[in-house]
């Protein structure tokens, strides 16, 4: 960590001293309280981001691409924090300085990581800098762990043996492996150099894990449990806290909280900017709606958000005033499968409303929902409670993320796709979510709207 502090500090002050980058002719003359505060933020941002993203943990079994991804995330986070600090402390640097600084620091710190990372992996391939591993179990899971270690010599892991209750390994591929009895684990940990214990028992042997965990904890030996220990049907667990107790959390998707925070920040900035930009269009549209039939301008509807939590969604009214009361009578016109009601030539849509829908202008008030936190700019479209009541259990998974104004299915066929495909695309989005994916969807939304592919 001290190396990162020194390196990031050196890069920060070098860039600060370059007027073309910082926008300050003489940085030394501006070293007041605000500049000192910004410098402290610059010194601590990277190490704290590295700590949060587990970059200081052992990287033996992590691919280089995953390390680079974490570094990029750290760069985005530290640049954002530095920009916010410069604004909060009124430091007279260029608006681009924090982001240029973040990019250069990413290059410097990333290069230093790679220069350390790659030689270490090369050394481990030749049997240096290795760690001894003891595997508990002799079944298929244990055999899989052994094959994975053998296939990755750059990990620098050496299997010293297997521990089980049986006298003969369960998996035939381990017949020639060194086998120890389970009751010998205490003496084994005393007599052998064991750096890590990997528990590869099936879930049918869960009751036998207690003595293994107890011995490892008493001896101070780190141990790893395979994620499929509790069954192949569960998603990967995440270690967390429940009060003072350690806990395993099973969630369909573990999204990085830092990236979700950045997504929320993008929502707030984007929605605020878009609200100002679209205000004249909304005002003209509101006047046209009012002049047509004298009814309310806004349409308020209860929708289901994340995890089924209800909220009031706002749209410019595009239907006649008593549209909801006519829905049952028009059920035979539904053109969509599943629990959705959709009719392309819905007789309830007004003349003005048809124009607004054509260009998705009626969606603009939802930017207020984004600011309030009910919705996001990008995410699965929020359904009405009546639709959710008809969902199958697996279909409710599309509610596991904050709903959005635009989503992946809207730019992949919009409302012309069936309900099953709709759910599949939403789940695909949730599983593969990234900030880059959100940006691509937003960019694809613009031509989709201009083509007049109406929204749901």
Query: Which of 266, 159, 117, 144 minimizes the C-alpha distance to 202?
Result: 144
Confidence of residue 168 (pLDDT cuts 50, 70, 90): confident
The angle subtended at Cα 124 by Cα 120 and Cα 128, nearest 5°, is: 105
| pLDDT, tens only, 251-268 | 666 677 778 888 998 899
Lowest mean pLDDT among 43-52, 53-62, 284-293: 53-62
Does 78 have pLDDT greater than 70?
A: yes
- Of 26 and 141, more confident: 141
Q: Which residue blocks in 53-96 are alpha helix, DSSP H?
A: 64-88
- Of 368 and 219, more confident: 368
Q: Count CA atoms within 13 Å of residue 3 on its CB side.
A: 8
Q: Is-contact 59 67, C-beta < 8 A?
A: yes
Q: Is-contact 381 360, C-beta < 8 A?
A: no
Query: Which of 117, 112, 104, 126 minimizes the C-alpha distance to 64?
Result: 117
Which of 155-158's residues contact partners 24+ apart within 8 Å by CB, and which partners?
155/60, 155/61, 155/124, 156/60, 156/120, 156/121, 156/123, 156/124, 156/128, 156/129, 156/130, 156/131, 157/60, 157/61, 157/130, 157/131, 157/133, 157/196, 158/130, 158/131, 158/132, 158/133
Beta bridge partners of 378: 406
Does 221 have pLDDT greater than 50?
A: yes
Confidence of residue 327 (pLDDT cuts 50, 70, 90): low
Does 211 have pLDDT greater than 50?
A: yes
- Percentage of residues of the chain with pLDDT beyond 90: 16
Q: What is the pLDDT of residue 40?
A: 83
Q: Residues 6 or more apart from 18 whose CB is under 8 A from it?
A: none
| pLDDT, tens only, 98-152 | 888 888 888 887 787 777 777 777 787 777 778 899 998 888 888 988 998 888 8
Query: Which of 21, 19, 3 minimizes the C-alpha distance to 104?
Result: 21
* C-alpha distances out from residue 208 to 161, 199, 203, 213, 327, Å: 19, 11, 10, 9, 59
Q: What is the pLDDT of residue 376?
A: 95
Does 364 have pLDDT greater than 90?
A: yes
Reported pTM: 0.57
Q: Is-contact 193 132, C-beta < 8 A?
A: yes
Q: Is-contact 356 362, C-beta < 8 A?
A: yes
Q: What is the pLDDT of residue 45?
A: 82
Beta bridge partners of 196: 133
Query: Which residue reads 């049918």 in tokens?
Result: 204
Beta bridge partners of 197: 134, 223
E strand or H helix at 170: none
> Cα dihedral sign for 401, 405, 411, 415?
positive
Does 79 have pLDDT greater than 50?
A: yes
Average pLDDT, the chain: 81
Instruction: Report the pLDDT averaged over residues 282-299.
Output: 90
Q: Count CA atoms within 13 Å of residue 116 on its CB side.
A: 12
Q: What is the pLDDT of residue 329?
A: 66
- Superfamily for domain range 131-250: NAD(P)-binding Rossmann-like Domain (3.40.50.720)
What distance in Å separates the CA atoms of residue 341 and residue 334, rounded to the nearest whole number?
5
Q: Residues 6 or more apart from 115 whose CB is under 8 A from it?
A: none
Which residues of the chain form CATH 3.40.50.720? Answer: 131-250
Does 456 have pLDDT greater than 50?
A: no
Q: Is 10 helix (H, G, I), strand (E, B) or coil?
A: helix
Buried b (16+ CB within 10 A) or exposed e, 411-444: bbebbeeebeebbebbbebbeebebeebeebbee
Q: What is the pLDDT of residue 350?
A: 86
What distance in Å separates the CA atoms of residue 353 and residue 390, rounded to the nearest whole number?
28
Looking at residue 161, the DSSP 8-state letter turns out to be E
Looking at residue 104, the DSSP 8-state letter turns out to be H
Lowest mean pLDDT among 119-133, 175-189, 296-310, 349-363: 119-133
Q: Is 304 helix (H, G, I), strand (E, B) or coil?
A: strand
């Amino acid at each position: 960590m001290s190396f990162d502090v020194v390196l990031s500090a050196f890069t920060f002050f070098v860039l600060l001293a370059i007027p073309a980058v910082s926008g300050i002719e003489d940085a030394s003359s501006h070293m007041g309280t605000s500049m000192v505060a910004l410098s402290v933020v610059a010194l601590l941002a990277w190490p704290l981001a590295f700590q949060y993203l587990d970059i200081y943990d052992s990287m033996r079994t992590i691919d280089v691409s995953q390390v680079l991804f974490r570094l990029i995330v750290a760069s985005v986070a530290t640049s954002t924090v530095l920009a916010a600090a410069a604004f909060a402390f009124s430091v007279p640097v260029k608006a681009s300085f924090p982001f240029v600084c973040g990019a250069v620091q990413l290059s410097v710190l990333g290069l230093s990581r790679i220069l350390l990372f790659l030689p270490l992996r090369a050394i481990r391939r030749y049997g240096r800098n290795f760690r001894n591993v003891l595997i508990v179990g002799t079944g298929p899971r244990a055999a899989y762990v052994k094959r994975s270690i053998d296939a990755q010599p750059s990990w620098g892991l050496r299997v010293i043996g297997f521990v089980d209750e049986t006298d003969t390994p369960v998996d035939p591929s381990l017949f020639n492996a060194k086998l120890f009895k389970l009751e010998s684990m205490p003496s084994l940990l005393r007599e052998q150099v064991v750096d890590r214990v990997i528990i590869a028992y099936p879930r049918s042997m869960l009751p036998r894990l207690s003595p293994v965990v107890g011995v490892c904890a008493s001896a101070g030996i780190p141990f790893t449990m395979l994620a499929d220990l509790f069954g192949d049907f569960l998603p990967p667990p995440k270690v967390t806290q429940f009060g003072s107790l350690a806990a395993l959390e099973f969630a369909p998707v573990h999204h990085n909280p830092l990236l979700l925070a950045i997504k929320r920040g993008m929502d707030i900035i984007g929605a605020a900017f878009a609200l100002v930009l679209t205000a004249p269009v909304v005002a003209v549209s509101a006047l046209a709606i009012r002049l047509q039939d004298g009814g309310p301008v806004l349409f308020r509807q209860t929708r289901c958000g994340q995890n089924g939590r209800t909220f009031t969604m706002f749209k410019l009214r595009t239907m006649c005033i008593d549209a909801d009361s006519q829905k049952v009578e028009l059920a035979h016109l539904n053109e969509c499968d599943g629990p959705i009601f959709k009719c392309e030539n819905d007789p309830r849509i007004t003349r003005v409303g048809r124009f607004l829908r054509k260009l998705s202008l009626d969606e603009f008030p939802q930017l207020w929902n984004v600011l309030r936190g009910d919705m996001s700019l990008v995410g699965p479209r929020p359904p009405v409670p009546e639709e959710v009541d008809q969902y199958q259990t697996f279909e409710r998974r599309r509610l596991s993320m904050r709903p959005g104004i635009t989503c992946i299915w809207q730019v992949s066929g919009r409302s012309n796709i069936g309900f099953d495909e709709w759910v599949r695309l939403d789940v695909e989005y949730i599983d593969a979510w990234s900030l880059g994916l959100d940006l691509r969807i937003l960019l694809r939304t613009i031509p989709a709207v201009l083509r007049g592919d109406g929204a749901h």
